């Protein structure tokens, strides 16, 4: 029952953001609101569970990427930086803004994960430096650039003007972080 409710919650979030009502969710799941509240005592508890499940999925995905011998280091770095919960990759930045604004306790879970979960990136970065794939950089600066940019994109709701999904925004940020802005084929060096 809980799993069905969670799957319906993902659909509600994708279509309506976090402003869906528990009545909407109960209707989508085909259960009464009483049954819904028996599984999740509040919308906050439901959103917390959604976030916790997605963080656990992200940790598993990070391990898979790190240990996949068929992915080169640059692609591993790209994939690690681009990881977004599967159920949220197509959501626009508005959903993330609403979550941050209206559910600050739940947002803390995401923010803490974004600030603390850099071990896999560190491993790939160090391996890439040893192999001459990456140049030596200060990881704390990369973390601040990445998380700061992500928070700024969410806070400014770029998506309202350009319909940018979180996945698209991260892809653009990662292209700039990994590739820079100088065209290596440019003759003006």
Kindly state whether residue 46 falls inside one of the protein's structural domains: no
The per-residue pLDDT for 124 is 97
- Side-chain half-sphere CA neighbours of 165 within 13 A: 14
The count of domains in the chain is 2
Q: What would the 3-class secondary structure string for 18-34 be?
A: HHCCHHHHHHHHCCCHH
Q: Are residues 106 and 157 in the same domain?
A: yes
The per-residue pLDDT for 159 is 47
Q: How many other CB atoms are found less than 10 A from the CB of residue 58?
A: 17
Question: In angstroms, rounded to a whole number, what is the distance separating the alpha carbons of residues 127 and 41?
Answer: 46
- pLDDT of residue 140 exceeding 80, the answer is yes
Kindly state whether residue 184 falls inside one of the protein's structural domains: no
Q: Are residues 62 and 134 in the same domain?
A: yes
Instruction: Identify whether the C-beta of residue 174 lies closer than 8 Å to the C-beta of residue 81.
Output: yes
Kindly state whether residue 189 falls inside one of the protein's structural domains: no
- Confidence (pTM): 0.85
Banded pLDDT at 187 (limits 50, 70, 90): low
Q: For 78-127, write each residue's pLDDT tens digit.
A: 999 998 876 676 777 888 889 999 999 999 999 899 888 899 999 999 99
The per-residue pLDDT for 167 is 85
Q: Are residues 22 and 83 in the same domain?
A: no
Residue 8 is part of a domain; what is its CATH number? Answer: 1.10.10.60
Residue 159 is part of a domain; what is its CATH number? Answer: 1.10.357
Question: In angstroms, rounded to a whole number, what is the distance separating the alpha carbons of residues 68 and 82?
Answer: 16
The per-residue pLDDT for 69 is 97
Kindly state whether residue 186 falls inside one of the protein's structural domains: no
- pLDDT of residue 161 exceeding 80, the answer is no
């Amino acid at each position: 029952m809980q799993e069905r409710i969670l799957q319906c919650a993902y659909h509600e979030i994708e279509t309506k953001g976090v402003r869906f009502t528990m009545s909407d969710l109960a209707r989508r799941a085909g259960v009464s609101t009483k049954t819904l509240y028996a599984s999740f005592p509040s919308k906050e508890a439901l959103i917390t569970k959604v976030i916790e499940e997605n963080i656990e999925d992200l940790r598993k995905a990070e391990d898979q990427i790190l240990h996949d011998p068929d992915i080169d280091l640059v692609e591993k770095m790209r994939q690690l930086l681009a990881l977004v919960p599967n159920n949220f990759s197509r959501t626009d930045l508005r959903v993330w803004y609403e979550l941050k604004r209206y559910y600050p306790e739940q947002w803390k879970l995401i923010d803490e994960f974004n600030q603390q979960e850099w071990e896999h990136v560190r491993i790939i970065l160090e391996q890439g430096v040893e192999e001459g794939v990456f140049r030596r950089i200060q990881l704390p600066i990369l973390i601040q650039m990445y998380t700061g940019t992500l928070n700024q994109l969410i806070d400014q709701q770029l998506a309202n003007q350009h319909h940018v999904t979180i996945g698209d925004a991260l892809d653009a940020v990662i292209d700039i972080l990994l590739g820079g802005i100088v065209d290596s084929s440019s003759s003006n060096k």
